[in-house]
């Protein structure tokens, strides 16, 4: 279990003003959604949280240790990344790819053991991929590949999940299944952070939200206080109509 914290963080987007420094704590058990229009910097923020992009200023900490003082191998044991870029040409099967999730825990040249295999198989089962275990990833559909990426992170079982549009390419049923999976991870004490384009998924499954504006302005807090129609209309530059369904707000473009 781990706390992910940013202190006066300014992400580095070329030619953009600093905007509001981000100082927030993402704690075990919480599910954070990062919302914002195209180009607002959601992916850049996620990459910065993962230590893949250098911040312009400020810092990211895991359990009070600055990321820049941590070895990449230590970070890899804590952070699970589900990002958009995929090495699609990589000649590996679905099972071999899921097993990559265990690599941060193995020493160099150490082969995966029975426990690792069991974790990978369970993750494939959870993502309904067992039947595709021996298929080459390069032959999969977009949604199947997305689920392989999630299964790889699940095999890793990281303290902190960083997922960039985890429901990308997924049909409705799998969108719900993946949001349920991420909620389940949070309930088990993991910290879950994801970028989302779908306001309604965010409203239903995230308990904390960070709204990122194209000029670098931002606000964050408990989901209920962030899901204000006026603020969301301003965020997306889009009038919205809203209603409440089963206790959660639902937004549609007007």
Ligand X SMILES: Nc1ncnc2c1ncn2[C@@H]1O[C@H](COP(=O)(O)OP(=O)(O)OP(=O)(O)O)[C@@H](O)[C@H]1O
Examine residue 156 and tell whether it contacts ligand X (CB under 6 A).
no
User: 48 vs 159, which CB is nearer to ligand X?
Assistant: 48
Examine residue 189 and tell whether it contacts ligand X (CB under 6 A).
no
**Lookup: tokens for 74:** 């230590």
Residue among 41, 51, 158, 166 that touches ligand X (CB under 6 A): 41
Residue among 23, 25, 39, 66 that touches ligand X (CB under 6 A): 39
Residue with tokens 């590949």: 145
Is there a contact between 134 and 93 (Cβ–Cβ < 8 Å)?
Answer: yes
Examine residue 36 and tell whether it contacts ligand X (CB under 6 A).
yes
**Lookup: tokens for 65:** 């240790």
Examine residue 13 and tell whether it contacts ligand X (CB under 6 A).
yes
Tell the smallest beta-carbon distance from residue 68 to ligand X (Å): 20
CA torsion, ordered 193, 195, 198, 204, to nearest 10 deg: 10
Count of residues in contact with ligand X, rule CB under 6 A: 10
Residue among 6, 30, 44, 146 that touches ligand X (CB under 6 A): 44
Residue among 6, 30, 31, 43 that touches ligand X (CB under 6 A): 43
Examine residue 40 and tell whether it contacts ligand X (CB under 6 A).
yes
Query: What are the residue ranges of helices labelled H in 65-206?
Result: 72-78, 94-99, 114-126, 142-156, 172-187, 199-205
Tell the smallest beta-carbon distance from residue 146 to ligand X (Å): 15
Q: What are the two backbone dihedrals, phi and then psi, of residue 16, each rounded to the nearest 5 degrees?
A: -110, 140
Q: Tell me how crowded residue 214 is: count the other CB atoms within 10 A of its CB.
A: 16
Residue partners of 113: CB distance under 8 A and separation at least 6: none
Tell the smallest beta-carbon distance from residue 43 to ligand X (Å): 3
Examine residue 211 and tell whether it contacts ligand X (CB under 6 A).
no
- Contact residues: ligand X, CB under 6 A: 13-14, 36, 38-44
């Amino acid at each position: 279990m781990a706390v992910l914290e940013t202190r006066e963080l300014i992400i580095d987007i070329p030619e953009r003003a600093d905007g509001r420094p981000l100082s927030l704590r993402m704690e075990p058990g919480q599910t954070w959604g990062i919302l914002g229009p195209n180009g607002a910097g959601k992916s850049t923020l996620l990459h910065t949280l993962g230590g893949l992009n250098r911040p312009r200023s400020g810092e990211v900490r895991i359990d009070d240790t600055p990321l820049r003082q941590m070895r990449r191998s230590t970070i890899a044991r804590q952070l699970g990344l589900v990002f958009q870029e995929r090495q699609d040409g990589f000649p590996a099967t679905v099972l071999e790819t899921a097993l990559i999730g265990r690599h941060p825990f193995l020493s160099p040249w150490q082969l995966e053991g029975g426990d690792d295999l069991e974790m990978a198989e369970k993750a494939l089962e959870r993502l309904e991929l067992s039947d595709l275990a021996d298929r080459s990833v390069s032959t999969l559909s977009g949604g199947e590949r997305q689920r392989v990426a999630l299964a790889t992170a699940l095999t890793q079982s990281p303290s902190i999940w960083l997922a960039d549009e985890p429901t990308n390419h997924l049909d409705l049923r799998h969108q719900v299944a993946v949001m349920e999976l991420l909620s389940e991870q949070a309930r088990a004490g993991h910290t879950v952070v994801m970028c989302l384009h779908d306001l309604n998924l965010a409203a239903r499954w995230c308990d904390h939200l960070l709204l990122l504006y194209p000029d670098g302005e931002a606000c964050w807090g408990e989901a209920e206080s962030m899901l204000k129609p006026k603020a969301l209309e301003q965020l997306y530059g889009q009038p919205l109509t809203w209603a409440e369904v089963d206790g959660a707000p639902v937004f549609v473009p007007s």
